[in-house]
């Protein structure tokens, strides 16, 4: 608590996390978020764009020598993108619903003939809405993590 009686809450996640070097490109970081969410959904990941820059700037050590340099800590990077297990679960769920709804719409379009019933049209319309809303949600999840 500060002198003017304002209270600050620090939300910190502890535990083990996987550190992944990022890039300065928005599209590349989006692909890294998707890959990390699908490849390791059970563990927390930190994407650090500065880690890739530091790796390029640091000269490599000769084989057999011990590096006494300070270990890079991804939590020090203000531009780090933190992917929690909850975010990954939401991303995978939204992706699965989006893909299933899109496939269902394609299958229904190929199975039903040229004159579907009104109920079939409503189901087809609902599947179309589901995959479009899911795609929008995926874009929103990426946008929320990258900004």
Q: Decide which of 47 and 77 is more confident.
A: 47
Q: Do the beta carbons of residue 30 and residue 146 sit within 8 Å?
A: yes
- The secondary structure of residue 19, as a DSSP letter, is E
Taking the model in full, what pTM does it have? 0.72
- Reported as a pLDDT band with limits 50, 70 and 90, residue 6 is low
Alpha-carbon span 90 to 86, nearest angstrom: 6
The domains of the chain are located at 17-146
What tens digit of pLDDT does each residue of 15-28 get?
A: 677 888 888 888 99
């Amino acid at each position: 608590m500060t002198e003017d009686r304002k209270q600050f809450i620090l939300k910190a996640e502890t535990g083990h996390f996987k550190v992944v070097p990022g890039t300065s490109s928005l599209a590349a970081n989006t692909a890294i978020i998707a890959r990390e969410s699908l490849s390791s959904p059970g563990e927390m990941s930190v994407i650090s764009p500065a880690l890739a820059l530091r790796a390029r700037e640091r000269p490599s050590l000769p084989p057999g020598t011990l590096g006494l340099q300070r270990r890079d800590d991804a939590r020090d990077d203000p531009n780090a993108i933190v992917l929690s297990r909850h975010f990954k679960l939401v991303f995978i769920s939204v992706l699965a619903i989006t893909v299933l709804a899109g496939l269902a719409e394609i299958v229904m379009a190929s199975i039903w003939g040229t004159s579907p019933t009104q109920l079939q049209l409503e189901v087809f319309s609902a599947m179309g809405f589901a995959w479009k809303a899911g795609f929008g949600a995926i874009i929103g999840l990426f946008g929320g993590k990258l900004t």
